[in-house]
Amino acid sequence: MRTDIDRLQTFYASPLGRMAQEMIARRIATLWPDVRDLDVLGYGHADGLLEPFRSGARRVVSASPDGQGIVRWPADDRCACTLVDEERLPFRDSLFDRLIVCHGLEEAEGPRRLLRELWRISAPEARLLVIVSHRRGLWARAESTPFGHGQPYTRLQLYRLLEAAMFQPTASARVLYAPPLGWPMITSAGDAWERIGSALWSSFGGVLMIEAVKRLYVEPGGARQPVKRRVKLPAASQIPGG
């Protein structure tokens, strides 16, 4: 059973949720600094992460799985959100250039089937960003947050799942090194936690972010294609204006 929309909304309205969203959004901004004239999809609960793209992208759409529920988005403009069946997404083939999945994969009934649907609606060379709770981090154990529900992943597990769905991983990052507690001393110091955590215990970030590009073919014999760009995204402290 999916985490419902009321619970997601309540979390992201809290100081802890706002901190988490800000840390994730900063990493996305470094990865995709320019989406002009591109079509962008957010799947799961990605409304807050889509906001920065509204001014530049050609089209921005928020899709929520039907077991989760939905709220109108954006609140100040024409509705650009829809409730969907995760195995029958209501979009034509090869439509989106950038896709963000947040709170979408961990509780999916068929993760590989969902990824194949996302592959279908991705344009050639489209880039998918999957944001999931990290099995080795504290947030996967915190049921008071949305990241404490569903199936957490290690980087290797997510790589394999993406490759099986014909996406090629290209970049990875771990974020949310702060403990998942709403104490002011934690929520007001997100930058410091990210800086210290990425330097001292980089393998234990609470959230895993993997970017992957759509592949159009499978090599004979099922051999893997080489990863052309497997890099770590810069720490929050290295982001201009952070």
Q: Read off the CATH number of the domain in which 216 is found.
A: 3.40.50.150
Residue 189 Cα distances to 25, 141, 185, 221, angstroms: 16, 21, 6, 50
Q: How many CB atoms lie within 10 A of CB 9?
A: 15
What's the confidence (pLDDT) of residue 229?
Answer: 45
pLDDT of residue 236: 40
* Predicted local distance difference test score (pLDDT) of residue 220: 55
Domain that holds residue 177: 5-238
Number of domains in the chain: 1
Phi and psi at residue 127, to the nearest 5°: -115, 130
Against a cut of 0.75, is the pTM above it?
Answer: yes
Look up tokens 């970049």; give the residue: 171
d(CA 37, CA 96): 11
What is the structure's pLDDT at 242?
Answer: 32
Q: What pLDDT sits at residue 217?
A: 76
> What is the pLDDT at residue 233?
52
Residuewise pLDDT in 10s, the chain (242 residues): 799 999 999 999 999 999 999 999 999 999 999 999 999 999 999 999 999 999 999 999 999 999 999 999 999 999 999 999 999 999 999 999 999 999 999 999 999 999 999 999 999 999 999 999 999 999 999 999 999 999 999 999 999 999 999 999 999 999 999 999 999 999 999 999 999 999 998 899 999 999 999 998 765 554 444 444 444 554 443 333 33
Q: What is the pLDDT of residue 237?
A: 37
- C-alpha–C-alpha distance, residues 191 and 23, integer Å: 8
b/e map of 116-151 (b: 16 or more CB within 10 Å)? ebbbebbbeebbbbbbbbbebbbbbebeebbbbbbe
